[in-house]
Amino acid sequence: MMAPIKISLGKIELEKIKILTKKGLEDVRVVKRALILKSRHMGIPTEDIVGLLDVDSKTVSNTLNNFLEFGFDTQTVPHAQG
């Protein structure tokens, strides 16, 4: 089993997540990615995130790795459909 991916969000990123999840106007995938980031920032393990957000463990891993590689905005901007 791999060690948990650790991330740390800044105050601005946490505020963006708060706004993003309250507006009700964003794509559910964007909201779930934001909640994955917030959950891991709070130290919640992958297994619990999977159960709470009804996502696959690979989604959690991909979201966290993409955040570490590309940053916050790539996780909270809807991906191009194609």
Residue stretches of the chain with pLDDT short of 70: 1-2, 75-82
- The reported pLDDT for the residue numbered 73 is 82
Q: What is the gyration radius of the CA atoms in the chain, in angstroms?
A: 12
Q: Which CATH architecture does the domain made up of 25-76 adopt?
A: Orthogonal Bundle (1.10)
- The reported pLDDT for the residue numbered 82 is 35
| Domain boundaries along the sequence of the chain | 25-76
- The reported pLDDT for the residue numbered 81 is 41
**Residue 1 vs residues 4, 5, 17, 46, 80: alpha-carbon distances, Å:** 9, 12, 29, 12, 32
Task: Report H helices in the chain.
Answer: 11-23, 28-41, 46-53, 57-70, 73-76
- The reported pLDDT for the residue numbered 60 is 95
- The reported pLDDT for the residue numbered 75 is 67
CA dihedral over 52, 53, 54, 58, signed as positive or negative: negative
- The reported pLDDT for the residue numbered 1 is 58
Distance CA 26, CA 40 (A): 21
- The reported pLDDT for the residue numbered 78 is 56
